[in-house]
Amino acid sequence: MDAFKKHTGVVAVLDRANVDTDQIIPKQFLKRVERTGFGEFLFFDWRYHEDGSVCPGFELNGPQAAGASILVAGKNFGSGSSREHAPWALLDYGFHVIIAPSYADIFFNNCFKNGILPIVLPQSEVLRIMNAASTANSAKDQFSLTVDLDNQTLSDGGELNIRFDVDPFRRHCLLNGLDDIGLTLQNVDDVDAFEKRRPIYMPVVAALSV
Amino acid sequence: MNRRTMFEKIWDAHVVKAEEGKPSVLYIDLHLIHEVTSAQAFDGLRLAGRKVRRPDLTLATMDHNVPTTDRTVPVKDPISKKQMEVLAANCEEFGITLYDIHHKLQGVVHIIGPELGLTQPGMTVVCGDSHTSTHGAFGALAFGIGTSEVEHVLATQCLQQTKPKTMEIRINGALPMGVTAKDIILAIIGKIGTDGATGYVIEYTGEAIRALSMEGRMTVCNMSIEAGARAGMIAPDETTFRYVQGKPHAPQGEAWSAAVANWKQLPTDEGAEFDRLVEINASELAPYVSWGTNPGQVLPITGVLPNPADIENPADRKTVERALDYMGLQPYRPINGLTVDRVFIGSCTNGRIEDLRAAAGIVQGQTVAQNVKAMVVPGSALVKLQAEAEGLDKIFVAAGFEWREAGCSMCLGMNPDILSPGERCASTSNRNFEGRQGKGGRTHLVSPEMAAAAAIAGHFVDVRTWKK
């Protein structure tokens, strides 16, 4: 996983609550067996009409959101399915940071595993960012933020300066791009010892003949 | 002595290593995998040159995108076919037991774990699927994980986890006639919202929960994720032990006695504290129907749709407006009498034998309404076999239902079973998100009884008072 330290990018606003993973990446695109290539299908059912033409009214299709890498959204973002295809699609599209008042647990966790920083801010701060970004309405007049994970701040370079909290261990892993399987494997002796203590009645899988 | 909740007991018993300021390393007793969320995990293993630590604690099946029609013909969709072939090759390479599309034990992953006796009290169970919470019905800690964590479990048989908070949801009293486990969980989500339990593990308690069968308990725990919960669980009791005993992977002889003795220690200690308590009176519950585009947007069958104009909070008003618009519904309309085009009975929520019996009880001797296309998809090949042994398939087919092979099917529409745009479906599944059952499709979540009655009547009815 790539390390995440500081990121500056264009902000896209998706002012909707409870955006679920079925919207982020509809199920017809879950059949790929790779981790890449999902970006073109991000929010597919919202981005495109039935005939394949672009829905001009969808937030991400506007010129102010072109090339955006920071997504600001409503509460409970990423609810629903555990599909990691959702963060893969966001990342592949170009998003490195998400800002919302709250997230669904599994999605939140999946983001960190892929080097995406999901920032939790109070509703009022999220609204401030949404309002500031909403003044942008063309490709020339885009709203950008700089997110500094080391100092836990985000700023528009002007009056908007916000501090955010992030779990210290997750921050450490993101800053250093740590492979958490590698971290667990450092405890292999403990795992060995644990397995010796497991009750013998616990089931093991064996192919049943029927 | 320290008084602990059931969740805390199971958590404590599975901590391999705990360090201040770091997530705990938690041991996983059973890892279930399927074709959609595992391929990239196996690729990760190969890239890093890692092995599967415990293939003997791992079981694979194919459920999400399998066709539910004739299995003797090849799978038409080339991408689905490839995904199944990749799973088969990965299981072969890493020595994992696989019940593939042609196997007599194939089925929805959350149905086959319990029916094979692999899901037992006190265990940790994970799967790359959010409805893994189903297994909590046995007094297990079971939760859904992403593909990176699937890879983590394959490589280490462990996960790094931060300890969630605990919530007790107590359902007091007895359920009225015609009100089911599905209605309990829909009522709960309606009350606390789709993020009401985010960050929590729920333990369901109370008389109404104790009175449920294992099938009913699985239905309740299954939709815990729909309230945002990390997991849902129910303390094991005689109902649990009776269900597990004699299943293929259940302990036998002395091991059985030892297991039961341990399982009896699992229930939450008297006086142990939860971080939050929610109470609901079962006697106040009715059959529920979801009206909107998330599982928290539910109404009792006697209810009327909300009017956005009555909602003060602008964000909430917009959410309701969007949902009504997508669902093609008008404010204040009663949900009772709303016409349906399709009926789907199945899924990991309601695809077990008891669900099919309940639906068949409504359908027997009746005919599906002319405007409705209805289908039953058993949750597993064993459920299908059992239903056929009881003659349930004949009841459904005689009424005009399609009787299919086991799989996730129209719950998520990854296979050919999908709604057309604008079609309205009474569904026993778990999610009514936009496009979940097909782009533009309109899903209403209900119990098997309510779905069966809607199929016959051609519209939603109150099963408590409905005269066939």
Residue of B162, B195, B431 lying closest to A75 (CB–CB): B195
pLDDT computed for residue B468 by the predictor: 72
Domains of chain A: 6-178 (3.20.19.10)
Q: In angstroms, rounded to a whole number, what is the distance separating the alpha carbons of residues B75 and B415?
A: 10
Hey, are the CB atoms on A202 and B27 less than 8 Å from each other?
no
Per-residue pLDDT of chain B (468 residues; tens, 9 = 90+): 689 999 999 999 999 999 999 999 999 999 999 999 999 999 999 999 999 999 999 999 999 999 999 998 889 999 899 999 999 999 999 999 999 999 999 999 999 999 999 999 999 999 999 999 999 999 999 999 999 999 999 999 999 999 999 999 999 999 999 999 999 999 999 999 999 999 999 999 999 999 999 999 999 999 999 999 999 999 999 999 999 999 999 999 999 999 999 999 999 999 999 999 999 999 999 999 999 999 999 999 999 999 999 999 988 999 999 999 999 999 999 999 999 999 999 999 999 999 999 999 999 999 999 999 999 999 999 999 999 999 999 999 999 999 999 999 999 888 889 999 999 999 999 999 999 999 999 999 999 999 999 999 999 999 999 987
Give A-chain residues touching B436 at CB under 8 angstroms: 22, 27
Hey, are the CB atoms on B439 and A206 less than 8 Å from each other?
no
The B276-281 sheet, strands edge to edge: B231-233, B200-205, B165-172, B276-281
Q: Looking at chain B from residue 174 to 233, which residues have their Cβ under 8 Å from any Cβ of chain A?
A: 194-195, 198-199, 225, 228, 230
pLDDT computed for residue A2 by the predictor: 80
Asked if B252 is an interface residue toward chain A (Cβ–Cβ < 8 A), one would say no
Write the pLDDT tens digit of every residue in A27-76.
889 988 889 999 999 999 999 998 999 999 999 999 999 999 999 999 99
Hey, are the CB atoms on B195 and A104 less than 8 Å from each other?
yes
Hey, are the CB atoms on B433 and A110 less than 8 Å from each other?
no
| Cβ contacts of B100 within 8 Å, gap of 6 or more | B61, B62, B84, B87, B88, B106
Hey, are the CB atoms on A208 and B116 less than 8 Å from each other?
yes
Q: Looking at chain B from residue 266 to 285, which residues have their Cβ under 8 Å from any Cβ of chain A?
A: none
Closest of B226, B144, B145, B154 to residue B190, by C-alpha:
B226
Give B-chain residues touching A183 at CB under 8 angstroms: 160
Are the beta carbons of B118 and B214 closer than 8 angstroms?
no
To the nearest whole angstrom, how far is the Cα of B272 from the nearest Cα of chain A?
Answer: 25
Hey, are the CB atoms on A102 and B198 less than 8 Å from each other?
yes
Indicate whether this complex's ipTM tops 0.90: yes
Q: Looking at chain B from residue 131 to 170, which residues have their Cβ under 8 Å from any Cβ of chain A?
A: 132, 144-149, 151-152, 155-160, 162, 164
Q: In angstroms, rounded to a whole number, what is the distance separating the alpha carbons of residues B228 and B223?
A: 9
Residue of B16, B22, B151 lying closest to A181 (CB–CB): B151
